[in-house]
Amino acid sequence: WGAMTEVRREVFGQRPPEEGGGVVEKFFLKSDSVKVEILSLGCIIAALEMKGRDGEFSDVVLGFDTLEGYTRKHPYFGAVVGRVANRIAKGRFTVDGKEYQLFLNNGPNSLHGGARGFDKVLWSPQVLPNGVSFFRLSPDGEEGYPGDLKVWVTYTLSGGELAINYKAQTSKTTPVNLTNHAYFNLSGQGSRDIYDHEISIEADSYLPVDDTKIPTVQVTVATKQACSRWGTARRQNVELGKHLQKFHLDGFDHNFCLQKTQARRLAARARHPPTGRTMEVHTTQPGIQFYTGNNLDGSLKGKGAVSYPKHSAFCLETQSWPDAVNKPHFPNTLLQPGQEYDHTTWLVFST
């Protein structure tokens, strides 16, 4: 059964009044092989330490040492994003004959919940024997979305497995798509790039996108062929740097389509051969966004005052498909009153 998970909490900082004030707490979850630090601001995973082949712990997620880093502009490091993760085309959708317009914060589109999404708000924590659960009520009309939405995000740690469960209930029909936006580098945060990582994604197809990153077509045989051509097909280990070079790619920022099932299944695996660190992502979601930190540019100083250049981390964001609320043939993202949104993602760390 292994040793129990230890859980403790401490004050991390005080938010400035102009951001709504309030005390931000940090929660420490610790097993024999993994240590995780999570903030009550944005349910942010601020640190995640795992052992390498040498038995030493190393922090493998990007982030900041102080609260100030997280209250300034940053690319969603470690945060839970919502109500709707990823992009909604033109920030517009129609539910029950009524059109809703959201704030545009990503070119012509709305991204990750808008101007002040779930990543920028304080959540109410509750300590559990093996983790921590966060709750918030997103009021009707927040960021333009309909309905009072109650949301629970629960992190539990067991050995080398961190589970993230998302639940939500609404008073009006609303799109919901929640994910965590942690940036990983298995050689340790602050390492220069992720080119020596091997990635495999359990998908036969991905969604091609236009130049604003909105999916352009239905999933077709063509995208399945393209998927194999990109070498991201099922169970193929791709060494990232060589792959980007060979196909002259600027990086990945694509949704991969997983088999449709409500059950837990393996979605992706990342491996860092030099340290032996491996991370598997299992989920109940229909998609996973693979992003290679293409927009990092070295301007942000992270933990230990290290700068984070382009391709210095990757994200594997389990989710519904981008712009699904406007694409009837995509998996449904509308939550109805009386229903419960309930998804879990498991991050499994091993050496």
182 is in an annotated binding site: yes
pLDDT value at residue 233: 42
183 has pLDDT over 70: yes
pLDDT value at residue 250: 86
Number of domains forming the structure of the chain: 1
In a domain, residue 132? The reply is yes
For the stretch 289-322, what's the b/e string if a residue is b when 16 or more beta carbons lie within 10 angstroms of its beta carbon?
Answer: bbbbbeebeeebebbeebebeebbbbbbbbbbbb
In a domain, residue 287? The reply is no
181 is in an annotated binding site: yes
Is 248 labeled as catalytic in the residue annotation? Answer: no
If phi over 0 gives left and psi between -120 and 50 gives alpha, with beta otherwise, what is residue 267? Answer: alpha
CA–CA dist 27, 311 (Å, integer): 29
CA–CA dist 333, 287 (Å, integer): 12
pLDDT value at residue 179: 98
CATH of the domain at 146: 2.70.98.10
Over the stretch 73-82, which tens digit does the pLDDT of each residue have?
A: 999 999 999 9
In a domain, residue 166? The reply is yes
86 is in an annotated binding site: yes
Of 74, 181, 254, 272, the catalytic one is 181
26 has pLDDT over 70: yes
pLDDT band at 247 (very low <50, low <70, confident <90, very high): confident
Distances in whole angstroms, Cα of residue 24 to Cα of each of 136, 282, 309:
14, 29, 28
Q: Which long-range contacts (CB under 8 A, 24 or more apart) does 296-303 make?
A: 296/75, 300/74, 300/75, 302/62, 302/63, 302/64, 302/69, 302/77, 302/189, 302/190, 303/47, 303/59, 303/62, 303/63, 303/64, 303/65, 303/189, 303/190
In a domain, residue 297? The reply is no
pTM as predicted:
0.93
In a domain, residue 240? The reply is no
Over the stretch 80-126, which tens digit does the pLDDT of each residue have?
A: 999 999 999 999 999 999 999 999 998 999 999 999 999 999 999 99
204 is in an annotated binding site: no
Residues 6+ apart with CB under 8 A from 157: 5, 29, 30, 31, 34, 36, 130, 131, 163
253 is in an annotated binding site: yes
Over the stretch 286-314, which tens digit does the pLDDT of each residue have?
A: 999 999 999 999 999 999 999 999 999 99
Question: Any idea what DSSP says for residue 68?
Answer: H
pLDDT value at residue 282: 98
In a domain, residue 239? The reply is no
Of 49, 272, 317, 343, the catalytic one is 317
228 has pLDDT over 70: no
Domain with 334 in it: 6-183+329-350
198 has pLDDT over 90: yes
In a domain, residue 46? The reply is yes
In a domain, residue 291? The reply is no
